Amino acid sequence: MNTEMYKFVIDGIAYDNRTLETTKEQKIKILRELTTQNIIEFEGIDLFTQINASLSIYNEERSEEIKNKISYWVNRYNAAKIKVLYALSNDEIDNIIL
């Protein structure tokens, strides 16, 4: 998330005009999008492949491999989302990565 447009300095004091709730919502949305992007682009598992794996179109070994890769990213998303929900400041939220 580009936080530069929300942060500004006046008389040497840094301000962040986002509310905590807005920052949390934005970060969760970005994390969700990154999770999808990583599954599709990094792992090479497009939507059709995901559907085929869930329908057991592939052999058991291939289906499990696909499901495990998806689970890996979903678990990372869930862990990051929990950190966001419990964060107490915008800076803390901005530093959470997938």
pLDDT tens for 38-94 read 999 999 999 999 999 989 899 999 999 999 999 999 999 999 999 999 999 999 999
Residue 77 lies in a domain: yes
Half-sphere exposure of 50 (CA within 13 A, CB side): 12
Residue 24 lies in a domain: yes
Quick count: other Cβ atoms within 10 Å of Cβ 64?
Answer: 12
Residue 12 lies in a domain: no
Residue 1 lies in a domain: no
Single pTM value for the model: 0.83
Residue 60 lies in a domain: yes
DSSP state, residue 12? T
**Number of domains making up the chain:** 1
Which domain covers residue 29, as residue numbers? 19-94
Residue 87 lies in a domain: yes
Residue 9 lies in a domain: no
pLDDT in tens, 10-45: 777 767 889 999 999 999 999 999 999 999 999 999
Residue 52 lies in a domain: yes
